[in-house]
Amino acid sequence: MKLEKTLVISLENHNIYYFTDSTASFYMAVPHKKFNSSNITIELRDDTLDLVFNTSNINSLVNKLNNIYSKIDNYNISLIIPLINSNFLNTLNTNPDERLFASLDKAIGNVINCSYIALSSNNIKVESNIIMINNNKYIAFMNWFVNKYQNRCEYKSIMDMIMEQSNHDNLDKINSSGINFVVGREAEKTIDNKIDDKIEVDSSLVLNEVEIDDNNIPIKKQAHQAGYISYYLLGVISIAVSLVVLYLLL
């Protein structure tokens, strides 16, 4: 069956759709402005009975969804809320049976597949990692699910994701010996590698190549010649003193 979608809310950076087909029903925030790639992010909630799509009570539904999704609108979070029976989910806490885990695993798999189609059809690049939201509910199942798909699945809270993106968006400037590295998300930002003129260099760590010019004798060579002159002078003085002493003895 074709995946059907209904626009429920249009926020500044996301449209909130209700998606449904024969295998899954869920809400998802689909980026529509500044985000061209996103992760599939799934939150299992215990209030899904209050979120059943019902056009006869649309105002109440819109208010509830707006409270949920407005918090993540400024961030690249394609939050998905599967409409899975909350009574079934609550059973997982009292009866952590792997057969129930496998059943829910299949349901989430259907949601993931449909979400991938929905994002791709909106020209959104889908990142490989799937994020399961840690809201301190259904912990036994969450641990089981994340361990099963540990190469593709991460376990985070909404606040973790917001903090990560906030830290990534803020430009961090790192200073190192007069070289400024600018770290940021914007591709046009470049590295400023201007050396500070006031840096003191340890001369013992520097090797200089000196070109010798016959017309411009290096200082060391001049000092070498001066040494020879001093030896000649001492020799002359020694001979003169010897002659004087010999004369006196005679």
Q: Where are the domains of the chain?
A: 4-169
Residues 186, 189: Cα–Cα separation, whole Å: 6
Residues 42, 82: Cα–Cα separation, whole Å: 8
No. of H helices and E strands in the chain? 6, 9
Question: What integer pLDDT is reported at residue 151 of this predicted model?
Answer: 84
Question: What integer pLDDT is reported at residue 246 of this predicted model?
Answer: 55
Of 44 and 222, which is predicted with more confidence? 44
Position 250 pLDDT exceeds 70: no
Q: Nearest 5 degrees, angle CA 56-CA 60-CA 63?
A: 140
The residue type at 158: I
Angle of the 86-94 helix axis to the 139-148 helix axis, nearest 10: 90
143-162 tens-digit pLDDT: 999 999 988 899 899 999 99
Q: Is the pTM of this model over 0.85?
A: no
